[in-house]
Structure 1
Amino acid sequence: MKSSFRMKPLKIGWASVSLLTLIRAGHAGESAVPGQLVVPGVSSGVLLQHYQGVLAPDANAPVGARGEHKPTMAQRAEQGRTLRVMVKHFVLSEPLPGPAAAKAQQIFTAFEGRQLGSADVVRVRNLLNAMLSREMDALTYARLPQQDISDGIVHFEIERGRIGRLELNNRSRVSNSVVSHYLPSNDVGERRNLDALAQMNRRLSALPGIGQAAVSLAPGDEPGTTNVTANITPASPIEGVLLANNSGAPSSGANMVGAQVALNSPLGIGDRLQSTLFYAPPGAQNAVGQGGHTSFAALSYDAPVGYRGTRGGVQYNRVDYTQGGPGDLRELFDGHGSADGIRTYVSHPLLARDDANVTMGASLEHKNLKDSFFGVMSRRRLWTGGASVSGFKAGQLAARPNVVRFDAELKAGQVQVLDVGINDDAAGDLSRSLISRRFAKLSVGGEYLQLIRPGLTFSLKGNAQFSLPRHHLDPSEQMSLGGAQGVRGYDSGLSTVDQGALMSTTLTQALEPIPGLSMSVFYDRGNGQISRSNIAAGGCGCTIPDNLMTVQAAGVGLDYHYGSKFSVSVVYARQIGAVPENQYQRRRAQTWVNAKLAF
C-alpha cells in the first residue's frame, strides 16, 4: 500500500485559471469579454484606463504655474484653428528603453515629413501614451508642452507619475502591522507605481485571512501625484470541505468520507492551521474490501517567511489500515499496517504576474512505515529531501484563451529496512542487500488547457517519474498508474511502478440548459516499469516480460457544481486492451464518484 499522502490546500493560488474558468470565459455574458481569460489580481492596464484623468495632468489645460495664458495646441484645434506645419522630427525629453524606443520611432516615422495640424500632433501624443502604458511603467506618459514648432521640431516631455499618499483600510484578520510590510516602499529614491501596487495586491490576496486586496485611486495633494487607499477585506476565519468518494484502495476501503478544516490567520500574521481526516468504514465496502478499513489524519501549519511571498510550514501525516476480503481469507492474510511522517517545506515565488507564475520549493521528510502480512512484520524508515519548481502561463491561441501548467521535483533520500518481513529469502541475502540504500527520482508534470469555442474546452495532461539509480523504490515513493488519478479504467490495485508515464486527453462541453453542468469524454494511457533493480529482475540485470506494463482506458464524465459550495462528478471508464500479466482486476470498467460540500 502506498503510504505517502499530501494535503490539498483550501486556499487556491492559480486555481481560478482552471478548466472551469476557461468554460466560464465563454459564458460570462456581460461580466467578461467573450474569449478573454479571467485571471486573478489587479491589472495595471485596467487601472490606468479607469483613472487616466487622475494619473496625468490634463495636457489640454493651460500651464498656469508658468504664467502662460496662451491656448495650447489642443485648445487651438478645438477652437477650429487650422494651422498646419511641416513636422520634420519628434523629440523626447529623455531616451526610452530599447523596445519602447523602437515602437516610439515607428509611431514618429508615420507622421514625420508631413504637414500636420494641432489635432494630428495630439493624435501622435495619444498613440505614444498608449504604447508607453503597454511597454513601460503604467504611470509613464508623454506630455505635449506649450512650444513653438515653426522649426518643424515637436518636443514631448516624458513624465513619470508618482504615487502620493498611501493609506490602509484593513478589515481582515491579518494585523495592520503585518499588512503594512507589504505596502510599496516609500524610501527616498524608490518609486511607487501601479506595478508595485499590483504586486502588493497579489501577495496580500494570497494570505489566509484576507479575502481580497484592492486599491482605489484619487487625485493627489500635489500635481502629478495620485493618492491610493489599499482596501483589505476579510476572509472567513474558518473554511471547510466535506468529501465523499470511492477512490480508496479496493482491499482496505475504497469508499471513503472525509473533512478538511482550515483556520485562517489564527495568529494574525497570515498563517494557516489545517487538518484533514479521511475514513473508510468497514461496513461500507464491497466484497473485495469487506471488513477492511482505512483512517487517515493530517495536521499542518504554515506561515509567511518575510514579506515577499515566501511561506514555510510543517505537516504531520498518519494512516492506519486493515486489509479486507472474505472472512476466512481475511483472517489468513492478516494484512494491516500504519505509516506516519513529518514534513517541513518552504516555497518562494520567482515570478508572480496575473498571467504567469513560477514558484520554487524545497522540502525535508521523515517517514516510518509498517506492514504486516501473514503475521510477519515489515518495517522501514525513510529520509528524503527535494527541490521543486511549478507554475503556469496564461495566453491565447487563435484569439481563444489557454493555460499551460507545469511542475517538476527532484527528490533524493535513503531507506533503511528494519525488518524485511515476508520479502526475505531463506539465506537472508535479500535482507542484507536491502538493509540501507539511497535512492533518487525525478517527477515532472504538465497540463495544457485550451478554449476551443464558448463552452468547449480541450485538455492534455501528463506526468512522469524516473528512478535515477537502478534501485527498487519503496512503495511510498513509487508511482501509481491506476485509480481515479491515473488510468481510470483500472482500480488502484495495479502494481505501483518505479518509473512510468501517464497521459490523459479530455474534451469538455458545458451543458448550457443547466448552469454548472458539463460533460466530458477522455482517453487515458499509462506505461510503467515495476522495478528498476536487478533483484526484482532475477539478479540478471535483464528485463523480464511482466516487469513492464501498459494500460489504457476511455470513458465519459459528468460534472456539476453549484457556485463554489458544492460539486459532484461521476466518471465511467472502460479498459482498452488486455490487462497486463500478473495484474488482477475484478472488473473491466470502473465508475468513480467524488462529491464536495464547502462550508
Structure 2
Amino acid sequence: MTLSHYASVPLVTAMLLLLGADALAQQVPTAGSQLQQISALPPKTTTTSPVLEVPKDSIPTTSRADVRRLKVVGLQFSGASALSEAELVKICGFVPGQRYSFVELHELAARVTSHYRSLGYFLAQTYLPSQDVTEGLVQFQVVEGQYGAIKLTNQSRMSDHVAAHVLESLKSAGAVTASDLERRLLMLSDLPGINVKSVLVPGASTGTTDLQVNVSDGRTLGGSLEADNHGNLFTGAQRAGASVFFNQPAGIGDLATLRFLTSGPDLTYGQATYQALLGGLTAGVSLADLRYRLNGEFASIQSSGSAQVRSFYLSYPMIRSRNSNLSLQWSSDEKLLSDRTEVGSLGNTSEKFARLSTTSLRGDFRDSWGPAFNDYAATWTHGSIDLRDPIARDLDLLSAHSQGDFDKLTFSAGRLQHVSADVQLYARLSGQWASKNLDASEKFSLGGAGSVRAFPSGEAAGDEGASLTLEVRSNLPQISEHISGKLQLIAFLDAGFIQLNKRTWEAETAANRRELQGAGLGLAYSGPENLMVKTYYAFKLGNEVAQSQADAPGRFWLQLSKPF
C-alpha cells in the first residue's frame, strides 16, 4: 500500500468492508479462488492391468462308478493348515454314522474346496486319495496351494530391486491367496511405464505352484491435451492446456509430470510434479505457479495477482484389488497468494501465506447389485492463514476473523448404477464443514461445470455447504458405421446449499445462506484412442440470481480431452 499517495485508503476500505464487503468478496475473483478452480482438474495417468494365467485344476481322481454305500464313523483331513480339522468337518456337513456313497464323499470334498476358495485360496483343492475305508474312517487330502519358486524376469527400465520389493510378501512356501497376489500384481502394474504379465504353473513338488512374473517396458512418454470453457469469465472462460508424463526417468518406479493451462494473457498456470516409490509408500513433490489478470467489469481497477504452491505428499494403498481400493494420503502445502488492485496512481497489494497439513482417505468398490461402481473420499485439513498486509489484518479483525489457524472437512461420495446394458443412474454428494470463517482460497463453491451447472464457475463460495447431482445416462445408437465410439445422452438435476460465512459479524448485511438448483441435458462422446467430449446445457430452477457474473437463464459447458 502506498500510503503517501492515499493516506485515507484504510478508512475508505474499512467503510467498504463494513457496508458491503461480503458482496464484494463474493464477486471479485482472487488468486485463491482462481487456484481452487484449477486444482479441481488434476492431470491423470493410466495404468495397465496385470495379466495372470492360472493353471487348471489337476487332482488325483478315484472312481465314482462304485455305488456302494458305506457307514462312515469319522473324517480325517491331511494337509490343512489354514483351518482346523473340526472346522473342516463342520463345513462339509458330515454326520457321523451315516452311510455315504463315493459320489457323496466327493461332494463333501467339493464343499471344503468351495469354502477354501471363498476365503481367497483360489488354488485350493480337496480330494479322496486311494485308501482302505473298511473301518469307516475316511481320509481327505487338502492341497491349500503354496508357492514353490517365485521368479521375476525384468526387461524394463525399472530396477530389479524396485520390482522385487513390491513382490516381497509373496514368499516361497507361503500360501497362494487371491487377495495378496492380486494386491501385489496390481501395485506392480500401477507403477508408471511398465507392463506386467504373470503365470502360475505347477511346482516341482505336489501341492506347490510356481509364480513367474514378467515385467516389460511400456510407454516412456505420454500426456494429454485439454480444452474447456470452465474458467472464470473475468480471467477467460475458454481454456486450453496440456500435460506431459515422463515414466521411469530414474528407473525407481518414478513419474515426472508437467502441466500447463491458459486462457490467454489473463490466466496462466503451470505445475511440475515428481513422485517415486519409497518403500511401501509413494512420495512426491509439486511446484505450481498461477498468474491472473481481471478483465470485463473489473478492468478499471486493474486487478491482477499470482499464486505459488509448494507441496510434499505421501500415499499408501491400504486396500488394492480389482473390486475394492482404499488409499491414505498426507500432504503438506505452502501457498503464497498475492492480489493487487490499481486505480490510477493508487495501488494496493494484499499478500497471504497459507500453510496446510492434509490427511485424506479415498476409495472405491464395486458391488453386484446392478452391477455398480462406488467411490468416496474424506479429507481433513488443518491450516493457518497469515495476512501479511497490516491493513488487511486490521480489516479482518473487524469482519471475518479468517486470520490464524483453521480446520475443515471435505467429503464426497458417488455411485454409478447400471440399470440395463444401455441405461445407468449416477448420483454424487459432496460438501464441506469448517471450524471458522475461511479465506477465499479454502471455501466450497456451488457453481460451475462440476457442481450446480446452471450457475457460473465460482458462484456461491462459502465456508460450509453441500451439493447433490443426479443423472440418468442412456447409450445412444451408433450414428454411422464410419463413426466409432460411444455416444451417451445425459439428463441431470443439480442442487446445493451454502453458508457463506461460518459466523457473521455485526456490519454484514447480505444473506448468509444460498440455495441453488438447476437441471439440463448433456452429451458425452467416447471416441477412438480415448478421445472424450462432454457438453451440457443447464437451466436454473428457482429464483436465485447469479452474483459472480451476469445472470442468465441457462449455461452451456464444453470439455474436450485427448491422451497422446
Q: Which of the five TM-score ranges fits, normalised by the shorter chain?
A: 0.7 to 0.9
Deviation at 1:222, TM superposition (A): 2.4
Aligned equivalent of 1:21: none
Between 1:332-341 and 1:505-514, the stretch displaced more is 505-514
Q: Is the Cα–Cα contact under 8 Å of residues 246 and 594 in structure 1 kept in the other structure?
A: yes
- Determine the C-alpha separation between the residues in 2 that align with 1:396 and 1:81: 41
Letter in 1 for 2:360: S
For the pair 1:231 / 2:249, whether they are aligned, the reply is no
The residue that corresponds to 1:403 in the other structure is 373
Alpha-carbon separation, structure 1, partners of 2:86 and 2:223: 52
Amino acid in the other structure paired with 2:376: F
Distance across 1 between alignment mates of 2:327 and 2:67 = 57
Partner residue in 2 for 1:516: 486
Give me the whole-angstrom Cα distance separating, in 1, the residues matched to 2:262 and 2:228: 11
Q: Is contact 2:525–2:533 with CA below 8 Å preserved after alignment?
A: yes
Q: Which residue of 1 aligns with 2:415?
A: 448
Alignment of 1:384-399 (within 5 A): 384-397=356-369
Structure 1 residues 88, 108: closer, same or farther in 2, change over 3 A?
farther
Query: Would the aligned equivalents of 1:350 and 1:357 in 2 still touch at CA under 8 Å?
Result: yes
What is the deviation of 1:185?
4.6
* 2:44 corresponds to: 10
Cα distance 1:445–1:167, how it changes in 2: closer, same or farther (>3 A)?
same
Partner SS state of residue 129, structure 1: helix
TM-score of the aligned structures, taking structure 1 as reference length: 0.80
Report whether the alignment pairs 1:208 with 2:192.
Answer: yes
Q: Partner letter of residue 86 of structure 1?
A: K
Q: Percent of aligned positions with the same letter in both sequences?
A: 25
For 2:163 and 2:44, locate their aligned partners in 1 and report how far apart those are by CA, in whole Å. Answer: 22
1:594 paired residue number: 559
Partner of 1:161: 145
Instruction: Give the aligned residue type for 1:349.
Output: P
Distance in 2 separating the partners of 1:103 and 1:523 = 53
TM-fit CA distance, 1:556: 0.8
Secondary structure of the 2:188 match is helix
Structure 2 equivalent of residue 318 of structure 1: 289
Conserved? CA contact 1:10–1:239, under 8 Å: no
User: In the alignment, is residue 150 of structure 1 matched against residue 134 of structure 2?
Assistant: yes
Contact 2:121 2:145 in 1 (8 A): no
Residue in structure 1 matched with residue 537 of structure 2 by the alignment: 572
**Matched-pair contact (CA < 8 Å) for 1:378–1:420:** no
1:69 matched to which residue of 2?
none
DSSP 3-state at the match of 2:106: helix
Aligned to 2:319: 351
Give the CA deviation at 1:210: 1.5
User: 3-state SS of the aligned residue for 2:466?
Assistant: strand
Any stretches of 5+ residues in structure 1 without a counterpart?
Answer: 17-39, 61-73, 283-292
Q: 2 CA distance for matches of 1:143 and 1:589?
A: 68
Q: Using the alignment, how far apart are the partners of 2:252 and 2:354 within structure 1?
A: 33
1:358-396 deviation digits (Å, cap 9, x = unpaired): 111111111111112343221111111111111112112
8 Å CA contact 2:159, 2:251 repeated in 1? yes
CA separation of 1:103 and 1:558: change in aligned 2, threshold 3 A: farther
Q: Find the aligned partners of 2:111 and 2:475 in 1 and give their Cα distance.
A: 40
Q: Which residue of 2 aligns with 1:549?
A: 514
Matched, 1:457 2:441: no
Q: 2:341 aligns with which of 352, 373, 378?
A: 373
Could you say which residue in structure 2 is the equivalent of 1:243? 226
2-structure distance, mates of 1:366, 1:528 = 27
Q: Within 1, Cα distance between the matches of 2:323 and 2:84?
A: 21
1:364 is matched with which residue? Answer: 332
Counterpart secondary structure, 1:485 = coil
**Structure 1 vs Structure 2 CA RMSD:** 2.8
Q: Distance in 1 between matches of 2:501 and 2:112?
A: 63
- Range with bigger deviation, 569-578 or 506-515: 506-515
Alpha-carbon distance between aligned partners in 2 of 1:185 and 1:178, rounded to the nearest angstrom:
13
Q: Determine helix, strand or coil for the equivalent of 1:372.
A: strand
CA distance in 2, matches of 1:598, 1:584: 33
Q: Which residue of 1 aligns with 2:452?
A: 487
Name the count of aligned residue pairs: 521
CA distance in 2, matches of 1:102, 1:504: 48
Q: 1:502 to 1:459 in 2, by over 3 A?
A: same
Which residue number in structure 2 is paired with residue 296 of structure 1?
Answer: 269
| Range that drifts further, 145-154 or 181-190 | 181-190
- Give the distance between the partners of 1:473 and 1:587, measured in 2 at CA: 29
Change (3 A) 1:240 1:455: same
Of residues 358-367 and 127-136 in structure 1, the stretch that sits farther from structure 2 once superposed is 127-136
**Using a 3 Å threshold, how does the CA distance of structure 1 residues 392 and 434 change in structure 2: closer, same or farther?**
same
Alignment check: 8 A CA contact 2:69 2:99 kept: yes
Q: Secondary structure at the match of 2:104?
A: helix
SS in 2 for 1:450: strand
